[in-house]
A and B are shown apart, each in its own frame.
Chain A
Amino acid sequence: MRTIHWRAPAAACAVVLLAGCSTFSPDGGLDAVSSMTGARIGQPVSFKRDDAALRAAADAVLKQPLSVQGAVQVALAHNSGLKAALAELGISEADLVQAGRLRNPGFSFSRSRAGDEREIERALSVDLIGLITMPIRQRIEQRRFERAQVTAARSAVRLAHDTQKAYFEALAANERARYMEQASQATEASAELARRMARAGNWSALDQAREQAFHAETLDGLDQARLGAVAARETLAQLLGVTAGEGGFVLPERLPALPDTLRPLQNVEQEALASRLDIQAAKADTAETARALGLTRATRLVNVLEAGYINTSTSGEPRKNGYEVSLELPLFDWGGANTHRAEARYMQSLHLAADTALRARSEVRLSHAAYLGAYARARRYRDEIVPLRRQVSNEVLLRYNGMLASVFELLVDAREQIASVQASIDAQRDFWIAETALQAAIHGSGSKE
């Protein structure tokens, strides 16, 4: 049997032309990620294949006490998790380029002999299906590539938020440890004084033991606080992608001051609708399904719909992403079911988009309420509780001056004042974390990301 496959020269020419159209972009899709990310993080972000400049800038930032923007900048330059996400983009682009190219025409030659008979088979094969489905595949890959860009941008935005949160936690933990040190100085003074009073015969072993137990407990609290500071610093270091040890980074002494004005709810709700990546993704999804629906209606015989939806994930395994375009012979089915399904999918996508938007607005409102509450609390501590505590201390000192109160009351009060300053620091930290969560709700994919 002899089989010879030949292709028309014109078709071959078209193949060559088509193949020539698909090439890699100069930025690898990173510019789009940069602009998506920059608008949401609030500082210019530039991702480049060669990030030496980026790293140099980040390293310069590390030489000074870290600001919250500086921390985000360092994390974007150094964080390996983000780099992995960006690398994914390259894989996507390769797929996209691949989709724009036909498989090379194949040529096969075989010679066989059965008894006296010899058969020489020459075949020239061209990827005909590939050629026919190329525009569809390209569009799908283009879409996947865009999704990968959004995913990369989401990773970057999430990293920024996580870094901010860790930054505030680390600062507060540092301050907490520092204040605990002061508290332990107060208890150390009373314990020492109690010891000397017992030695002078003025105080019982009972009173002395009480003071010393209190000191020991405070020391325990100090150890906990120090450990907490180390843990918070390590968490931040992981996100920054640098070492927490010597020469890693320097944190400022204090949390940033509270802002004078707050962001009104209306603005943030609108901003979220315009800016949230999940909403944008849902919208794009809807548009894409609409396009697929149109395509299905037009071709009927090309099952495009499966394409975007082969997106399965099994627990424990990496997510499978892909598509399948199949051509059917219109013998039994003229594509009516496909069209129905495509329509249903389109409606589903519309509802999903509406749901995403609804959830997003709710999340933003909730985050905004938490943000207002945290602000009120931090203000109350800053403007009322801490000043009142200070006043109490002054009054106790006046009583001490008049021999109306003892030095131990002074020291107990000093401890209480320290505790209220600590609570104030926590409230301030909570505000900044709530502010970060609000940002995440507005720009990211939700406050829980």
Chain B
Amino acid sequence: MFTRRHFFKSAGAAAVSAAAVSRVGAASLPEAVVQTDARTQPPPAPGNGRHFNPVVTLNGWSLPWRMNRGVKEFHLVAEPVVRELAPGMKANLWGYNGQSPGPTIEVVEGDRVRIFVTNRLPEHTSIHWHGQRLPNGMDGIMGLTQPGIPPGKTFVYEFEAKRPGTFMYHPHADEMVQMAMGMMGFWVTHPKDHRFMQVDRDFVFLLSGYDIEPGTATPKVNTMLDFNLWTFNSRVFPGIDSMNVRQGDKVRVRVGNLTMTNHPIHLHGHEFTVTGTDGGWTPPASRWPEVTTDIAVGQMRAVEFIADAPGDWAFHCHKSHHTMNAMGHAVPTMIGVDHAGVAEKINKLVPDYMVMGDKGGSMDGMEMPLPPNTLPMMTGDGPYGSVEMGGMFTVLKVRKEQKRGDYTDPGWYRHPAGTVAYEWTGELAEPTRSSSAGGKLMPLKQGADLNLNVRKPSGHTGHN
């Protein structure tokens, strides 16, 4: 048994540092390639096997394979990893081959696929190939279709990639813990005919949620719904790479949801259609235009659109709590609360105290020390200041001059003159207000005076 590291460079701005480690005893095993970089790795063209148009895994990479007598062999190593969720925060996760999520597996319809799975976790695991048609004994359900893979052991899964489409893989053993720890990966089965539904850019990512207490690095695996970090491929904004495309490109984005809630994924500036689901490609006649598609728990969606509108377009989950990072869920609302006098009193007790939240949640301009390994709640600077976003948020950058196959970040969009919202400096007319709130249907008994801020609770008469 030996360990060997080698580095190779690939096209694109980001140098891929992939370390190959450990032949795990037997010379017959393919190398388990390890990725140490959390940046998006632009796809190399498939070197052998049948041709396909590779996908781009957002802040991820695709797993190399080897051909062995006509069988595509992959080697996944389930192991603890340290994943950078965004610059300034790292998480102790479990993943595959050095990262969480694990590498994307790309095969072609009809490929015979053999996947070696080595378990380097402290407990048993298994892999379920979510959405695949395969022999029942290859489905990866511990206890039902196979025994668990014990720590230190390697199991082999082998089946034919029958149906083209969008898939995922994840453990089906101690599932709640292992998925809460980040064990998952993307799988794409490309159609036999690479011109079928061909697009210019094909982005893929998984949705996952973590509950990592501020000042810590390991997710709380017993959290059920109250996660505080919502991720694309185990990254949070501003750590999520932008999707950089050429104007006029046909773009596909494939999203798989392995969280415990649904995510309405929303794109600005374009309409898209859902062209693929868990069950395969949608018939063109059934598609309708949308700007938001809800991706339910355990589902996958492929959306397609023509990126015809140049600019920097927001792309995010529309649940606003999913576009911010860890925040105090029990923090009371301070909006409109007068702090005069009280702040000074508190300052005597807590010298570094600053009033926050009395004008809203915005923290712009405030740079304050946080617990270690903790990201600010809403952050990320754009050309006009703070974007005040976190979590499931990224930007689709559409540029005329972006070259085909070039995935590098073109920088901020330069708006043509007169196309940016601007301040109005003219007169402001007084708006006309209704004086008959409630109307005739349910007239208010107390009248329309609902000025809460003026009425004070007094004595036993209660409050309004």
Partner of B353, one of A197, A400, A403: A400
State the CA gap A401–B355 with chains docked (Å).
10
* Contact indicator B371/A402 (Cβ below 8 Å): yes
Q: Is A192's beta carbon under 8 Å from chain B?
A: yes
Q: Is B164's beta carbon under 8 Å from chain A?
A: no
* Contact indicator A403/B361 (Cβ below 8 Å): yes
State the CA gap A2–B334 with chains docked (Å).
118
How far apart are B361's CB and chain A's nearest CB, in angstroms? 7
Binary interface profile of A, 188-202, with partner B (CB < 8 Å = 1, else 0)?
A: 110011001111111
| Given A205-B457, A393-B350, A395-B371, also A404-B327 (CB < 8 A) | yes
* Contact indicator B337/A410 (Cβ below 8 Å): no
Q: Is B349's beta carbon under 8 Å from chain A?
A: yes
Q: Is B189's beta carbon under 8 Å from chain A?
A: no
* Contact indicator A399/B214 (Cβ below 8 Å): yes
Chain B residues lying within 8 Å of A203, measured Cβ to Cβ, are: 332
* Contact indicator B328/A196 (Cβ below 8 Å): no
* Contact indicator B350/A404 (Cβ below 8 Å): no
Considering residues A399, A405, A411, which has the most beta carbons from chain B within 10 angstroms of its beta carbon? A399
A397, closest chain B residue (CB): B352
State the CA gap A201–B354 with chains docked (Å).
22
Chain B residues lying within 8 Å of A182, measured Cβ to Cβ, are: 348-349
State the CA gap A189–B334 with chains docked (Å).
14
* Contact indicator A202/B356 (Cβ below 8 Å): no
Partner of A403, one of B335, B339, B342, B377: B377
State the CA gap A207–B333 with chains docked (Å).
13
* Contact indicator A408/B361 (Cβ below 8 Å): no
| Given A407-B334, A408-B332, also A399-B349 (CB < 8 A) | no
How far apart are A34's CB and chain B's nearest CB, in angstroms? 50
Binary interface profile of A, 387-403, with partner B (CB < 8 Å = 1, else 0)?
A: 00000010101111111
- Near A by CB (< 8 A), chain B positions 320-369 give 326-328, 330-339, 341-342, 345-346, 348-350, 352-354, 356-357, 361, 363, 368-369
Q: Is A185's beta carbon under 8 Å from chain B?
A: yes
A401, closest chain B residue (CB): B368
| Given A186-B349, A410-B346, also A402-B337 (CB < 8 A) | no
Partner of A406, one of B330, B363, B369, B456: B330
A183, closest chain B residue (CB): B349
Partner of A189, one of B327, B338, B349, B462: B349
Partner of B453, one of A189, A201, A400, A406: A201
Chain B residues lying within 8 Å of A400, measured Cβ to Cβ, are: 353, 356
| Given A193-B342, A200-B336, A200-B337, also A402-B326 (CB < 8 A) | yes
Q: Is A414's beta carbon under 8 Å from chain B?
A: yes
Partner of A185, one of B335, B348, B456: B348
Partner of B349, one of A192, A395, A406, A411: A411
Chain B residues lying within 8 Å of A198, measured Cβ to Cβ, are: 457, 463
Binary interface profile of B, 292-336, with partner A (CB < 8 Å = 1, else 0)?
A: 000000000000000000000000000000000011101111111
How far apart are B100's CB and chain A's nearest CB, in angstroms? 24
| Given A202-B337, A403-B331, also A397-B350 (CB < 8 A) | yes
How far apart are A140's CB and chain B's nearest CB, in angstroms? 69
Q: Is B370's beta carbon under 8 Å from chain A?
A: yes
Partner of B215, one of A201, A207, A395, A411: A395
* Contact indicator B369/A401 (Cβ below 8 Å): yes
State the CA gap A107–B397 with chains docked (Å).
137
B347, closest chain A residue (CB): A189
- Near A by CB (< 8 A), chain B positions 367-384 give 368-371, 374, 376-377
Chain B residues lying within 8 Å of A202, measured Cβ to Cβ, are: 332-337
| Given A399-B328, A403-B356, A407-B334, also A189-B342 (CB < 8 A) | yes
Q: Is B1's beta carbon under 8 Å from chain A?
A: no
Chain B residues lying within 8 Å of A411, measured Cβ to Cβ, are: 346, 349-350
Chain B residues lying within 8 Å of A407, measured Cβ to Cβ, are: 334, 346, 353
B464, closest chain A residue (CB): A201
Partner of B456, one of A199, A207, A403: A199
* Contact indicator A414/B350 (Cβ below 8 Å): yes
How far apart are A190's CB and chain B's nearest CB, in angstroms? 9
State the CA gap A197–B333 with chains docked (Å).
8
Binary interface profile of A, 402-430, with partner B (CB < 8 Å = 1, else 0)?
A: 11111110110010000000000000000
Chain A residues lying within 8 Å of B441, measured Cβ to Cβ, are: none
Q: Is B428's beta carbon under 8 Å from chain A?
A: no
* Contact indicator B357/A410 (Cβ below 8 Å): no
Chain A residues lying within 8 Å of B214, measured Cβ to Cβ, are: 398-399, 402, 404
Q: Is B45's beta carbon under 8 Å from chain A?
A: no
How far apart are A183's CB and chain B's nearest CB, in angstroms? 9
Contacts A/B (CB < 8 Å), 21 sampled? A182-B348, A186-B346, A192-B341, A193-B342, A197-B334, A203-B332, A395-B215, A397-B350, A398-B215, A400-B356, A401-B356, A402-B327, A402-B370, A403-B327, A403-B328, A403-B357, A404-B328, A405-B331, A406-B330, A410-B346, A411-B349
Interface residues of B (CB under 8 A from A): 214-215, 326-328, 330-339, 341-342, 345-346, 348-350, 352-354, 356-357, 361, 363, 368-371, 374, 376-377, 452-453, 456-457, 462-463
